């Protein structure tokens, strides 16, 4: 599930390059917010490994305007797919989580042991908490049903195939779109939300897909999530100025400090990832 999305399409390419038979469920055929559709999907297309990369997501804006939709759709998709996986005797469930699940007010790099050290940041709680619940469900299903699963916590993605829809895009794609449109319109300035101070981490989507493939093969600890990232922090201001520079746009950057910044710093500790994935980075 989610294999037709930004990350999913790269996962599919890698699986197919390894000779795997891959099925990509589409929303028009399988409404994954219902258990019936999830179970029908895995029974009609039996699999050894189920990658759950489906998500309804967006930036801070969509977290403000559609909190209930974010919460409900992501919560029930995860719960229903894992239930369907155990009913259909799937051998391994690979859950794709998010750095938004981490406590929003921790300082320093985020370690897997910190996942339950506090609440999610208020700006992303409706999305981050639903992915966090998959980690709880995984442990419960391992104890009661013996379902093998892993929970991978991803940082921000960028690269080919990203969505440029302003309501759904990741921050890199959102900034690229702003600058392209400003250049086309010959606008005198581009407005960016917040102060630019927050620090975020970014990983190229194809590199992330490679890491997920390795984790699916090498990692088997249901009880402990695994971070997937670079461990390198970049400020939103630095990212914005880089996009500004490479675009060739001659206008000004205007920061709207009345808009929310989100968490001050969100960078993953990738020590365990490098150990588990045999030095991959």
Q: Which has the closest alpha carbon to 127: 82, 66, 81?
A: 66
Q: Confirm whether 127 is a catalytic residue.
A: yes
Q: Is the distance from CB of 164 to CB of 118 less than 8 angstroms?
A: no
Q: Is the distance from CB of 268 to CB of 231 less than 8 angstroms?
A: yes
Count of H helices and E strands in the chain? 9, 10
d(CA 213, CA 152) in angstroms, rounded, equals 11
Choosing from 30, 57, 127, 158, the catalytic residue is 127
Q: For the CA atoms of 108, 109, 113, 118, what is the dihedral angle to 10 degrees?
A: 50
Q: Is the distance from CB of 52 to CB of 96 less than 8 angstroms?
A: yes
∠ CA(168), CA(175), CA(198), 5° rounding?
A: 90
d(CA 169, CA 75) in angstroms, rounded, equals 20
Alpha helices in the chain (DSSP H): 6-17, 35-44, 60-65, 67-87, 125-145, 171-185, 205-218, 236-247, 271-276
For the record, the structure tokens of 20 come out as 């795997």
User: Cα–chain-centroid distance for residue 72?
Assistant: 17
By annotation, the residues acting in catalysis are 127
């Amino acid at each position: 599930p989610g294999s037709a999305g930004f990350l999913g399409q790269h996962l599919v390419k890698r699986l197919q390059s390894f000779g795997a038979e891959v099925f990509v469920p589409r929303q028009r055929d399988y409404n994954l917010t219902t258990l019936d559709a999830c179970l029908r999907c895995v029974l009609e297309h039996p699999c050894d490994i189920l990658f759950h990369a489906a998500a309804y997501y967006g930036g801070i804006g969509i977290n403000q305007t559609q909190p209930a939709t974010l919460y409900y759709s992501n919560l029930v998709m995860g719960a229903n797919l894992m239930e369907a996986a155990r009913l259909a005797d799937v051998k391994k469930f690979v859950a794709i989580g998010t750095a938004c699940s981490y406590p929003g007010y921790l300082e320093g790099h985020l370690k897997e042991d910190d996942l339950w050290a506090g609440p999610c940041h208020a700006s992303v709680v409706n999305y981050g908490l639903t992915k966090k619940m998959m980690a709880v469900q995984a442990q419960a299903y391992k104890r009661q049903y013996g379902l093998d699963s892993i929970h991978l916590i991803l940082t921000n993605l960028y690269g080919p195939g990203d969505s440029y829809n302003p309501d759904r895009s990741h921050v890199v794609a959102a900034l690229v779109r702003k600058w392209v449109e400003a250049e086309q319109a010959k606008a005198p300035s581009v407005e960016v939300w917040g102060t630019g101070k927050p620090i975020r981490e970014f990983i190229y989507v194809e590199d992330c897909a490679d890491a997920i493939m390795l984790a699916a093969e090498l990692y088997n600890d249901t009880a402990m999530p695994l971070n997937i990232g670079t461990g390198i922090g970049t400020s939103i201001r630095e990212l914005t100025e880089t996009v500004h520079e490479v675009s060739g746009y001659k206008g000004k950057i205007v920061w709207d400090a009345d808009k929310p910044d989100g968490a001050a710093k969100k960078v993953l500790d990738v020590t365990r990832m490098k150990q588990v994935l045999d030095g991959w980075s």
